Each structure stands twice: as C-alpha cells, then as structure tokens.
Amino acid sequence: MPITTNHARRRLRLAMIGGGQGAFIGAVHRMAARLDDRFELVAGVFSSERQRNRVSAAELGIEEERCYADFSALLKEEAVREDGAEVIAIVTPNHLHFPAALASLQAGFHVVCEKPMTLNVEEAEQLAQAAAQSARHFVLAHNYAGYPLVQHARALVQSGALGTLRHVQVEYIQEWLSETPEADNRQAAWRLDPTQAGAAGCLGDIGVHAFQLAQFMSGQRVDAVSAELITAVPGRLLDDNVQALLRFDGGARGMLWASQTAAGFENALSIRIIGEKASLQWAQESPNELWLKPLNGPSQRLTRRDDWLGAAVGRGVRLPGGHPEGYIEAFANLYQALADGEATGKYPNWLPGIEDGMAGMRFIAAAISSSQRAGAWTALYPPGASHE
C-alpha cells in the first residue's frame, strides 16, 4: 500500500469492517468521519451475511468489487491498490475486534476500533505488541474524550485548579435492557451473548467508557477495584449492572456505577472530580457546560467556546458558543485528530489508543475477579508495573 508523503489537507481513504444495515455505531463512525471532510469511505465488509453485506455496500455507494466477503480479503486487496484504503474502522461485535485489528496493523493500515479493544488481557497484550511494531496508528473509540469540555476539565485538573484530588464519582446508566428484548433486536442479541460480547456485558459495553473517562479527566490510574456485577433481569448470562469502588494511584478514591437496567435513564453518563480546593461536574446529556465548584465560593458554569478554551481544545469546536454541539462532533474529533496526526506525524496526546485499551481490559478482568470473590479488592496491575 503506497505511503503518502504529501502533508497537504486531503481525504484519507477509509474502509469499514462491520456497520451494515441495522448497526447503530457503524453509521455514527461514518457520520463522524465525514464531518470535517477528512475521510472518504471506499471499501468494506459490512456484514457476515452475504446479502446484507452487498445491500449495505450498495446503499453506501461502495463499488461492488470493493465489497469484500471477509476482512482478510479486504486487507489483502486494499493493500495493493494505488487507491487502496489507508484506515480501517472496526465496528463489529466484540469478538472480532482483536483478529481484525491485529490483521489490519500487520497489513500496514491505521486502525480505529470500537471498545472494548479485545476479549481479554492476553489479546490486548498481543495487540499492543503489534501496534508497537507497526508504522501505523491505533485509535480506540472512547469518543467521550473528544468533547471539548471534557478535555478542558482534564486541563484544569492538570493545572492544579482543584488541588489534590480526593474523590472521583462516575456513572453511566441506561434503561434499554431493563426488559427482555425482542428476538429480532440485533443490537441486544450480540451484547447478551458471551460468545460475541466476551465475559462482560454492561461492564464491557459502557462500564469501560465510564472507567476511561474517570482516568482521562482525573489524570490518575486506577490500581485496584472492589466490584459487584449482577444480572438484574433473571436468566441473563452476562451482567447488566455494575457497581465498583476504585483506588487511584494518586491517592484519590472513586465510585463507578454502570447499568443498562436503570428505568427512566436514556444515556446518562456523568462524572464528578473533587479536589481539596474545588470540584468539577460534567454530564454527557448536557455536554456544552462544565461546572466548576470552588470551596466556599459560588459555582461557575463554563460553556464550550473556542475563543477561551485554548488552541488545542478549541481545535475540536466547530460552532460559535451558544450553538450546541454533541455526540457526533465529539466522535468526529477522534477522526479529525487521526487525520491531523497522519498529515503531521504528531498525534494529540489525548487521543485514546492502545494504552486505554490495555487499561480497560485490566479493569474488566479485575472487576469480574473481584465480583466472583464477594467484592474483594483486586489489583489491575502486577506489583511494580509501569503505567505503560
């Protein structure tokens, strides 16, 4: 596959694995990739079902010859085309993330992969080795890190505005699996199937988002967890509710709650970072405001404005203050950052990647182990392990 040396603004050629008819997150990735006109979808394998794959490709305007039967064929053919794909977006059920990402990196493609990164820590370690040996970049789709005010909150913590951190409380709660889903609900079916989702249900689907956000905003690493995983709806094989206590390496203590059986809540991701001098509060359902709450002082409502957020954070703001931006724009910031990095060779340090995926898999493994032992405190890392 030819490597482009011209750093002028251009569209990167994107191929997609998964994301065909009826898939939610595939459409989100396509919208995000198009938003800044930095990517062009040129190829894909959109479904393991032959007819669905072909119809999906036709609907997306993909040439018939570039609608492939499987990802092995896609990587082989696209790697040798002059106009071949340069970036692979992996938007499949969890069990395909590792083999597709590993093969894509080894074939010389940039990768954007949905979370959780793999099914277990061992796969994550193998993928990390492949990424280190590759000349390409790996992006993990923790899109909430793309919100400008999340990045501004992170910068405030790093600046010392909160003082020493004491508490981190994060929750991500939804209602959509509060009842047994209909048999034809494809989105629910694979998430409740251990052969496709892995050992974690709610924990792997949205719990890792809450975990990554807590680490991202606080700047501290979770070193140990005491967790309880339950199935609120009887008969399920995977968890649909997770509650956990967290110990951070910087001394903060935290709580995490993730649930897909919380009646009345649509997509309620929220976080509070509490320090000795002030606290921060942000919620994804109102993402254009961040609350700064000083000790013994009035609370301040900070809004998303590119004229005061600073150049690095303001890069991800597309509209003037007062014009709402949200989920798609935050997702698009991941693609924008990847395109910027490919053009300049310098990738933003906030862009989620292999390290976030490794940490997420360690968190899942530790939380499951803890729950199996009645909430016993469980370390995420071996003694003396580095942050890498």
Residue 258 pLDDT exceeds 50: yes
Contact 280, 162 (CB under 8 A): yes
Compute the mean pLDDT over every residue in the chain, rounded to the nearest whole number: 95
pLDDT of residue 310: 83
One CATH from 3.40.50.720, 3.20.20.105, 3.60.15.10, 3.90.550.10 for 12-141: 3.40.50.720
In tens, the pLDDT along 188-243 reads 999 999 999 999 999 999 999 999 999 999 999 999 999 999 999 999 999 999 99
On whether the pTM is more than 0.75, the answer is yes
Max CA separation in the chain (angstroms): 65
The CA distance from 169 to 210, in Å, is 10
Contact 199, 287 (CB under 8 A): no
Percentage of residues in the chain having pLDDT higher than 90: 93
Residue 8 pLDDT exceeds 70: no
pLDDT of residue 308: 81
The CA distance from 130 to 133, in Å, is 5
The CA distance from 94 to 25, in Å, is 13
pLDDT of residue 2: 37
Residue range 77-89: mean pLDDT, rounded: 98
In tens, the pLDDT along 84-118 reads 999 999 999 999 999 999 999 999 999 999 999 99
The CA distance from 270 to 210, in Å, is 8
The CA distance from 182 to 195, in Å, is 19
How would you classify residue 192: left for phi > 0, otherwise alpha for psi between -120 and 50, otherwise beta?
Answer: alpha
Lookup result for tokens 């303001």: 314
Band the pLDDT of 4: cuts 50, 70, 90.
very low
Residue 6 pLDDT exceeds 90: no
Residue range 52-61: mean pLDDT, rounded: 97
Residue range 22-28: mean pLDDT, rounded: 94
pLDDT of residue 381: 96
pLDDT of residue 167: 98
Q: Which of 27, 34, 44, 45 is nearest to 11 (CA)?
A: 34
- Give the neighbor-by-neighbor strand order of the sheet with 300-303: 300-303, 289-294, 278-283, 268-275, 165-173, 253-259, 241-248, 222-230, 378-379
Domain ranges, ordered by start, for the chain? 12-141, 149-319+354-372
Residue 66 pLDDT exceeds 70: yes
Domain 149-319+354-372 top-level CATH class:
alpha beta
pLDDT of residue 387: 53
In tens, the pLDDT along 136-167 reads 999 999 999 999 999 999 999 999 999 999 99
- Exposure of 159 by Cβ count < 10 A (0-12 exposed, 13-18 middle, 19+ buried)? exposed
Residue range 10-31: mean pLDDT, rounded: 96
- Exposure of 59 by Cβ count < 10 A (0-12 exposed, 13-18 middle, 19+ buried)? exposed
